[in-house]
Structure 1
Amino acid sequence: MRGATPVGSDFGHQLRHLRTRAGLSQEALAHAAEVSVRALADMERGRTRGPQRRTVQALAEALGLEGDEAACLEKSAALGRPRPRTPDGPVAPATLALPRDIGDFTARAPALARLLELAHDAERGRPTVTVVTGQPGLGKTAFAVHAAHHLAPHFPDGQFALDLRGMDPEPTPPRDALSRLLGAMGIADAAMPADTDDRAGLWRSLVSDRRVLLLLDNAADEAQVRPLLPAAGPSLTLVTSRNSLAGLESVHRSDLALLRREEAVELLTRILGPERVQAEAQAARDLADLCGHLPLAVRIAGQRLLSRPHERLSKLATRLAAEGRRLDGLQVGNLRVRAAFALSYRQLAPESKTFLRRAALASGADFSPETGALLAGLSYDEAFACAEELTDAGLLQSDANAERYSFHDLLRLYAAELTETEDGPGDRDAALDRIARWMLRRATAAALHFEADPVLAAPHRDPDPDTAPVGRDEARAWLEAERAQWLAALRRAHTSGRHREVLDTAEAMHWFSDVTQHWEQWVEVFACAAESARSLGSRREEAVHLNYLAWSYNLCVHDPDAALTAADAALTAARECGDGLQEGWALGYGAGALHRLGRTEEAHGRLRKSAQCLAAQESPQARLAELTILNTLGTLLRQTGRPAEALDIHRRSERICREGIPGRPDELIALYHAVARQQIGNDLAALERWHEAEPPLRQALADFEAAQMPAWVEQARLDLGRALAATGHPEARQTLLAARDALTALKSPRQVEAAAALAALDQVTTAG
């Protein structure tokens, strides 16, 4: 039989009596009621005299109380809840209740877990503040509200939510915000201090010993928030803002990220139901991607489909796939992605608005402040300041390692719309022409760091010598980082008829293209250049760039049919203008394409003609070309079962390298020597002289690695791995595995050879 409840006793005594009667420890009751042990202990000791109704209900259920006993426990708690009084008597407090939680809230588990840890910190008597930031549409308010409801049992002395209207033309002043908070605590208007600092002091004194949860939503800046933060006591404050509020001291940060694809699909599932999403699983994934995994956009898509129960997901996905209609499609009722972005845009300074709009004209996934400056017509320092402001406002994302910025896909579409509506065609064209000319000059100067001819490698006039790359490493880093920008500039120059600029840039890229053979973009570069040469009526330059085009088709995109067409056109142009060097190259590139097409005898004949043509010339360029052709000829001989002849040819190439070529730098000749060594190693392997093959292949691999030529490195690694496998070397498997993975990443056809060699080695190992 239950013992009598001590009616009329205070809440703490009553709770302790009921727990003891039920035979529960504090830990067991806390777990059953989903409150912390610390919170329960404070209630029993009388530190918390009046917990919230939902906490009391949870405790009553955990204790198995019913009817009068549960009502009695609630009555005791109610008596202990604070009722501030003023000289005029009791005041009904203004309500700042938490907004409604969203039942289909999805993801954010790590961020919620972190907030739970912070709630435990608050229970130890330390006021805790966490700032929730991120770009528009990430669901900062939804997350904060959901978290507040989840954490409410830990803060039985009250939960208050206040919208600070940070995106309004006139955000809520701190004085007014404090008035509402004090009113929620029961302070009458007549009793409130007039001064903001005095109101802040009163607010802090009221919450200094209470476990209060405060949600400050949509904060404008640090100055608005600081007076509202408790200075002492076991409180937790959640602040949401589109700005980073980087100046707030001693706060925790919860920077929300985009949803993962599976989380975005889960949100759609919770809105629409599993049957509808599972029936069109791929369309759901497509919708998540088209929404950029942005929670607001995904929610809008889901709510729109929910209001149209017979509409297929694929129909909406098709509509959103058209970029020009995507933002129009992402609106339902008063939820609009465009409107969410517009709130932030309106807050920007004029220069930052211009920077945002013009940055949408940049090519590629990201851009530098330099690019933004050129497009917006600003200085570098002005552009950098704008980019940082936009990052703080959540409208741009900054790279973790470099001074580069990027848009979310939907924000880029929004900024592009603004460019159309707020900038005239003349302004846009001027911006694009400005950046195109600058980028081509910088790209040309940077690429010439790789030029083999000392005369051609003379310093080129960079548009900004003070920031120009110095040396090959810096030049390569710039050319790689700005690849999308200078390629777009080349494209614009070509379509605008600035053919000499196109040819100068493409010619400067010749040697740089050799060390970045894995770039598919070289096809477009040299196709544009060949067309520009044709437009200028220069048959010699047309032959040059058609040869480069044939090279890129052969080695960069592995399309021998297109390579043969380009090489034959180069051969015709070279013969018409009497250029023996380009004739030799054209024969060689055509031979490479024929070999890849399986037309081996024709390839062999062209290579012989090419070698003869080039040997008859005395220029350093002809010697380099001859080296390439000899190496290719030897490779063909080996592949057609004549490895001894191939070894003789490649030894001849090696002798030319050792003798040197006047006027050509040693590091360039070293690369040709590396190619010869690689082929000599392969010839020796074909002759089953495995141990002799290993040293030249290792040296070739080291030379290519030193030159940072990934496509060449991995092919040499594959050749070395095969030789090591033949001798049972312990490094064989790891070497082949690395080569296979890298060649696959480079989309090289030789990945098939690597996979086959690795499988054969594994089979031998298993059998052994």
Structure 2
Amino acid sequence: MSDVVDFRGGDFRGPVIGKAEYRQQAPAPTALDALPPPAAGFTGRDEELGRLRAALDPSGAGGEQAVLVTAVSGLGGIGKTALAVRAAYAAREEGWFPGGVLFLDLHGYDDAPVTADQALQSLLRALGVEPEHIPVTADERAGLYRSVLADREPVLILADNASSPDQVRPLLPGGGRRHRVLVTSRDRLAALGARLVQLDQLTPGAAYELLDRALRIADPEDDRVVEEPEAAARLAELCGYLPLALQIAVALLAEDPGKAVAELADELGTSYDRLAALDDGDRSVRAAFDLSYRRLPAGQARLLSLLALAPGPEASEEVAAVLVGAEEPPVADLKALARAHLVERGNSRGCWRMHDLVRAFGAGVAAGDPEARDAARERLLAHYYRCADAADDRLQWLPGDPEPAHFATRAEALAWLDRECAGLVAAAQWGREKRYAAMASRLALCLWWYLDWRRNFDDLIGVSSAAQEASHGVGDREGEAMAWNNLGLGLRQVGRVEEAIDAHVRDRDLCQVLDDPAGEATAWNNLGTALELAGRLEEAMNAYERSRDLCHALGDRSGEGMAWNNLGIVFAATGRTEEAMDAYNRSRDLHHSVGDRRREAAAWNNIGNVLRTENQVGRAMEALRKALSIRSEYEDWYGVAQTLGNLGGTYEDTRRQAEARSYYLQAADAFTRANAPQEAARARARAAALTAPATPTDTPAPAAPPARTTDSGRPSPPPPDAPDSAAR
């Protein structure tokens, strides 16, 4: 440096004072080890951490690439930054990045995200470039940034909280070195050409471990989680296994050492606003979600809030369209929400689901516009009722009836009901709110046949109980009577026989008050099935006779056929075999005359059982095979299983053990398909018993219970090999 000052050319009119400033030239400071501290209690991410380590390892796959970008994406609060920081520490410890580790928070979801030129300025200064040497424009800064990196040993750039590929692209180094870029984002940055690592919620076990680890960091002697494992598991579930929510819960426990884990879990579980409770004053789950929500376009924001109202754990695209009042499913908006990790694809094709806490957030947003919220729920309830009613019509359709229009086939109707089942069951229980009582009750009545067919008896009891309460609340006596009927049928199926009797008595009494002979006939028949199962055979027979006579007077051949079938069961149980056979034949002929092949199959099954007890083996097998053929045609797997079991017993009676064993195993498979695991186990046990050497005996193998029928005033297939009954 020269200490000579040249004043040549100057024009000086007075005294001149020279002032010299001397500066020591030294490199600008660098920030090449600026990682934030690792998160407390980090756990449960071994698989994802392994994937990141593999991506960052210069000796691994992709190591010859000049730049390998890895993008970690997931819901706000899911632990993306914690994972990325942990991976960066691991990479530094391995010595993979001797050039340093740069960390930059892009604040992509804040009101003022970091721009490209701001990010490049920060990175250049961290790399030691003097501020006065940093160019003004973003393009010039990007060029200098790549040039500086080109002269360095491998560097890892961790760009946290990016909101779009455009925010990251200017930060990518040029070629020629094994630099790496690790990005975190709430959006799936597929357009970045990165290796994508998606984070989901923690497993229950990992969430429990996080609670314990993080709490012990505050106090190594704090063993509340270990002392209250069930409460801790419930707390983790209420936190949605979301790391941010779990960390907040830990903070709430740490600041109050006297609070039990169960107490905090109870507070969250009973809180009207769970998201408000998940706030420790410094961190908030609602605030984390709100950052993502505020960036959404209006249509996507509206969809998110209304989708949170869907009653089931998953919502089909059809339901999404109904909620927003659209003619076509909002598929593009759903995919956009999925890229933002606010929804994800469900287990069924065309279905979507939300994290529990995101659902709570969306519902909170919807609550801010009660008029729109209530209108959406009413649209969905009306849609569910129309479609469920149409599906029920198709499932109960008989030849000669008008063809249902909405569902072309029985299989199509069942597929729709299977997909929407959880939502239908939940929506049917909205009837406990007066606003939705009438429509929800009608929906519940449409679901009896399907729920009974699928053997979802707990759901059947739930929707019928809700319908009964709703109908009673609005003074709808007819609806209440039908709900009592269906409730009784569900209670009977789960063995709550005395409650079933009470329900059917209430139904009968209401029908008599309403002067509804068709409903009364149904009530008598179904009351008879409950009385019979309670062992009150004389009363049951009287009830069946009352039902038979009412149906005969009304010209209801299907109802009369069911009553005859059930009378046959009582006759057979009391040793009146000839009368039983006559009753079954009458039932078969009546059902055949109206084209009700499913109930005709029940009669054939029972005829086969009677013939078997009379040692008319050939005729018994013929009748049972007719029943099996019809039940197989209608995919009545429970009925198929019962008839297969009866065929197995018939072969066992004749000591043809190999054939008997085969039929029992087939019956077990059919019971499994029918969601009847206990019956399946018994059928397998009967098959296993036949592997031992045969022992001559004059005692025939036990027959499966006879098929009973119940009625509802609308044709319905029997609960197979149980009293024949149906809903109204």
Q: In the TM superposition, what are the counterparts of 1:296-695 in structure 2 within 5 Å?
A: 296-377=244-325, 380=328, 383-420=330-367, 422-423=368-369, 425-452=370-397, 457=402, 469-486=407-424, 496=434, 515-523=453-461, 546-555=484-493, 557-575=494-512, 580-614=517-551, 616-617=552-553, 619=555, 622-640=556-574, 646-657=580-591, 660-661=592-593, 664=594, 666=595, 669-686=596-613
Tell me the SS of whatever aligns to 1:121: coil
Using the size of structure 2 for normalisation, the TM-score is 0.79
Q: Deviations over 1:492-544 (max 9, x none)?
A: 57854788757865676676566445354444655676788889999877766
Cα distance change on mapping 1:523 and 1:733 into 2, 3 Å: closer
2:317/2:350 contact within 8 Å kept: yes
1:724/1:731 contact within 8 Å kept: no
Q: Which residue of 2 aligns with 1:16?
A: none
Q: In the TM superposition, what are the counterparts of 1:181-192 in structure 2 within 5 Å?
A: 181-192=123-134
C-alpha separation between the residues in 1 aligned to 2:162 and 2:44? 24
Tell me the SS of whatever aligns to 2:157: strand
RMSD: 3.7
1:214/1:236 contact within 8 Å kept: yes
Query: Which of 71, 81, 85 in structure 2 is aligned with 1:131?
Result: 71
2:428/2:441 contact within 8 Å kept: no
1:111 aligns with 2:48: yes
Tell me the SS of whatever aligns to 2:311: coil
Give the deviation of 1:324 after TM superposition. Answer: 1.4
Q: Deviations over 1:96-142 (max 9, x none)?
A: 62221235310111112222322222544453222111111110100
2:434/2:470 contact within 8 Å kept: no
2:43/2:210 contact within 8 Å kept: yes
Give the deviation of 1:148 after TM superposition. Answer: 1.2
Identical-residue share of aligned pairs (%):
33
Tell me the SS of whatever aligns to 1:324: coil
Give the count of matched residue pairs: 654
C-alpha separation between the residues in 1 aligned to 2:444 and 2:495? 20
Cα distance change on mapping 1:686 and 1:133 into 2, 3 Å: farther
Give the deviation of 1:266 after TM superposition. Answer: 1.2
Using the size of structure 1 for normalisation, the TM-score is 0.75
C-alpha separation between the residues in 1 aligned to 2:671 and 2:343? 38
* Larger deviation, residues 497-506 vs 476-485: 497-506
1:212 aligns with 2:155: yes
Larger RCO: 1 or 2 (CA < 8 Å, sep 6+)? 2
Please identify which structure carries the higher helix content: 1
5+ long unaligned stretches in structure 1: 1-87, 461-467
Tell me the SS of whatever aligns to 1:147: helix
Aligned-partner residue type, residue 679 of structure 1: N
Aligned-partner residue type, residue 498 of structure 2: D
Aligned-partner residue type, residue 360 of structure 1: A
Give the deviation of 1:440 after TM superposition. Answer: 2.7
Aligned-partner residue type, residue 597 of structure 1: A
Aligned-partner residue type, residue 440 of structure 1: Y
Give the deviation of 1:390 after TM superposition. Answer: 2.4
Cα distance change on mapping 1:623 and 1:229 into 2, 3 Å: same
1:373/1:380 contact within 8 Å kept: yes
Give the deviation of 1:261 after TM superposition. Answer: 0.9
C-alpha separation between the residues in 2 aligned to 1:129 and 1:263? 28
1:452/1:511 contact within 8 Å kept: no
Query: Which of 183, 201, 219 in structure 2 is aligned with 1:239?
Result: 183
2:428/2:467 contact within 8 Å kept: no
* Larger deviation, residues 328-337 vs 206-215: 206-215
2:645/2:664 contact within 8 Å kept: no
1:499/1:532 contact within 8 Å kept: yes
C-alpha separation between the residues in 1 aligned to 2:401 and 2:647? 36
C-alpha separation between the residues in 2 aligned to 1:262 and 1:691? 59
1:177 aligns with 2:125: no
Cα distance change on mapping 1:710 and 1:221 into 2, 3 Å: farther
Aligned-partner residue type, residue 161 of structure 2: N
Q: Which residue of 1 aligns with 2:199?
A: 256
* Larger deviation, residues 686-695 vs 149-158: 686-695
2:190/2:196 contact within 8 Å kept: no
Q: In the TM superposition, what are the counterparts of 1:45-60 in structure 2 within 5 Å?
A: none
C-alpha separation between the residues in 1 aligned to 2:65 and 2:253? 47
Give the deviation of 1:364 after TM superposition. Answer: 1.9
Query: Which of 183, 206, 228 in structure 1 is aligned with 2:171?
Result: 228
1:139/1:296 contact within 8 Å kept: yes
Aligned-partner residue type, residue 657 of structure 2: G
C-alpha separation between the residues in 2 aligned to 1:474 and 1:483? 14
Cα distance change on mapping 1:567 and 1:131 into 2, 3 Å: same
Tell me the SS of whatever aligns to 1:347: coil
2:99/2:154 contact within 8 Å kept: yes
C-alpha separation between the residues in 1 aligned to 2:247 and 2:693? 57
1:440/1:505 contact within 8 Å kept: yes
C-alpha separation between the residues in 2 aligned to 1:551 and 1:292? 37
C-alpha separation between the residues in 1 aligned to 2:459 and 2:285? 35
Cα distance change on mapping 1:312 and 1:579 into 2, 3 Å: closer
Aligned-partner residue type, residue 566 of structure 2: T
Give the deviation of 1:145 after TM superposition. Answer: 0.6
Tell me the SS of whatever aligns to 1:677: helix
Tell me the SS of whatever aligns to 2:191: coil
